[in-house]
Each structure stands twice: as C-alpha cells, then as structure tokens.
Amino acid sequence: MAAPSILHVDLDAFFVSMELLRRPELRGLPVVVAGGLGARGVVNTCSYEARRFGVRSAMPVSQARRLCPSAVFLESDYSFYGPASRQFHAILRDFTPRVEPAGADEAYLDVSGSERLFGDGPAIARDIRARVKAEAGITASVGVATNKLVAKVASDAAKPDGLLIVPAGQEADFLAPRPLRDLPMVGPKTATVLAGLGVRSIGDLQRIPVHALQARFGRHGAELHARAMGIHNAPVLAGRAEAKSISRETTFDADEPAEERLRVVLRRQAERVAADLARHERSARTVTLKLRFPPFETLTRSWTPGAPVEVAAEIFSAASAMFDRAWAENSHRPVRLLGLGVTNLQERAHQLRFGEPGGHGQLDSAVSTLRERFGETAVLRAAELFRPKRPGQQLTTPPAAAHDQIDLEGFDWA
C-alpha cells in the first residue's frame, strides 16, 4: 500500500501573520486584515483570536466590527505580502519540482520521488515547516496523505501551526467524524440538500448508497460518495498556474459621483492590471469594464481590439471609451463599484506599429518595480493627489476606497 506522499502546505492566517511580523505588539489580540476598512470593505483574513468571535474571510467589515468591536482592523498591503509568498513557494520547490500552487499561501506537493534525498512525506513536511518558520518568520500547517483531497482536509484540521498525517488505508476513517462542510466539493447549496436527507457529517454521507446520491445529484453523486470515502485520483499538477484572466475592482466607501475621481481609479486599475500582465509575460485580447450602481445594479462591457493590449495606456484607453458610453447611458449616476479586467490572455509578442517609439512598456515596468519594492503609494500620478485646501498645505493622497479587490483567476504569487 502506497505511503502518504502528497502534502498540502498552508500558511496560517497569512496576511495576519505578515502584519504581526512588523507589529509584534498585536500578538494575542483579535486582528482583522481587510481589503478596505470602510462600511463596504471585505475581510481577507483574521487571526484565530478574532475567529473565536465568529469573524470569517469574505465577511463584510461592518459585520466583523459588530461581532468583534475590540479587534484591530488593518488594510491589506499586498506589496508586503508578495515577496513572502514567493519565498514560501521557492522553499517548496527545493524539495520537489512537483508543486501545484493553490494560491499565494498554499500548495500541493507530490514528494514520492524525493524520499532518497529528503526522507518520506512526514519527514519532508517537518522540514518544510521548520524552514518556513526560520526563513519567513511565519508558520505553516501541513497535511500528509495519499491524495490531494485528504491532504487538504488534514492541513485544515492541523491548523494552526500543526502537522497531521493520514496513513494509507485510513482515509475514510479520518474523514468520517468531520463536519460535512469540511469536504471539498460540498458548498452551501449541496450541504442544504444533504441536510434535508439527515446528513450532518462526512460519515453520514459515506453511509448513503451511491445510487441514491446519483438519483439526487446525477453523475456528481458518485463523485460525492467517492470523495466522502477519501478516494481522489487527481494528480499534483506541477508548475505555475497560468492566469486565465486578470482584474481589479474598487468598491467606494460612498457612491462616487465625480468623473475625475472615477477616471483616476480606472487609470490606477489599468496600471495594476498591466503590471500583472507583464509579470506573467502575457498580453490580452479582450478588455472588460464593470460598473455597479446603487444598490446592486451591475453591468459589464467588453471590447476586443484588433491587436492584443499589454501596457497601461492601451488598457486605460479601451476601458475609458467603454466607461464614457456606459456611464452616459446610465445618466452619469453615482458609482458604487468600478472594475477593470482583461481576458483571452496569450503569450506576449509585441510588434511595433508604424511610427511607434521603442522602449515599449519601459515606463510601466519601472513604475511597477518601484511599487513592488516600496509599496503601492511609492509612485503616484498627479491626478491621484488632492489639491491643497489652504496656502502652504501639503498635497495628500486621496482616501482609500472601501477596498481594492484583486482577481487573478488561476494566478499565484510564486
């Protein structure tokens, strides 16, 4: 019987752990890191002390404040977290090339070919945890099993700062007592349907005949039963996950009526999207605009130009034209959310147009490098500054929107 050699490694409360490195006085306190601190902000992650009050990821900041008024709320600083994420993934690749990133702070590893160099799966898991602690200064939890599904559940069960090994042949027994929602593939709707059948734990699901699940869920019923038994054959897909789309969204603390402010945010989003494209050495065939008006009326517009776009000026030009038309069609109403994205990505192979100067994208690259090294506000356009209100008053950066959301589908920071 195969020894457990599949690892799921997950950094513990990653954003919070990073913030505690530079704010050690907050250790032991309920800490919430959110994409914006206003009424429309959303929790990215929180400390385990905050979780005891019911605070969870993806929860509105306003709800988190009601649940835990004593919590310390911090705004996400992705430029600070990014280098640590890359360091984390580099550590994993030191043990095996068969690493499948699952985000900035987690990954699957298949170490079945690394035993002669580094020992078995549990030994490698212990070494990884020690190196993450010593080199990055934060903790990781690891699940070790014979497949990705069980390893993922095991790492969740090991949190925080733990290691859990599920021996071969004991997958079903390990899963049986756990809550149904711990099983990957069981979302809120599926859980509600199963609850109506009296299913509360994974063990309850194991006892339902396969044909009964197929009658209720179709072809997914058999997969649901197999997963409940700890049977999962998906391999670890080595290599960097390719981005399928890249986008930025900004939700405003108050509905934004000012065209100048909206254009500033749109240009800022174009610069960030262009930086992400450059990082992946990609260009985009399609540019997409997203507008949300109060209370939740949302519209999207897309445009596919004749040639792929990759630099901020091109992306902003396309988005700005769509914004002009869409906003006018909606009587220039105040905007609740503004988003900009690119899809249909392809390998970058820019060809200069007639009369176009060389050095294509060099300014974008320089600005992106400065922001990554010194923070998002290290370089700002003049339009991103407020004018002085009094003689001699210094320029200040505009107040942050409720939250700037980053969506890189299939993207990891490694």
Nearest by Cα to 305 from 283, 276, 327 = 283
Q: Output the six-digit token pair for 384.
A: 């991103």
Q: Output the six-digit token pair for 149.
A: 């599904």
Report the C-alpha gap between 254 and 268 in whole angstroms. Answer: 19
Catalytic residue among 100, 106, 249, 310: 106
C-alpha distance from residue 358 to each of 303, 350, 354 (Å): 26, 11, 11
Is residue 30 a contact partner of residue 71, using CB atoms and an 8 Å limit? yes
Active-site residue, 19 included: no
On the CB side of 228, how many CA atoms lie within 13 Å of its CA? 27
Is residue 163 a contact partner of residue 187, using CB atoms and an 8 Å limit? no
Q: Which residue has the tokens 């002669």?
A: 116
Q: How many other β-carbons are positioned within 10 Å of the β-carbon of residue 241?
A: 17
C-alpha distance from residue 290 to each of 13, 242, 267, 276, 336 (Å): 30, 23, 14, 19, 11
407 alpha-carbon distance from chain centroid: 7
Nearest by Cα to 34 from 57, 12, 68, 18 = 57
- What 3-state DSSP class applies to 319? helix
Report the C-alpha gap between 6 and 235 in whole angstroms. Answer: 9
Nearest by Cα to 104 from 131, 121, 83 = 83
Is residue 256 a contact partner of residue 334, using CB atoms and an 8 Å limit? yes
Q: Output the six-digit token pair for 95.
A: 């043990």
Catalytic positions: 106
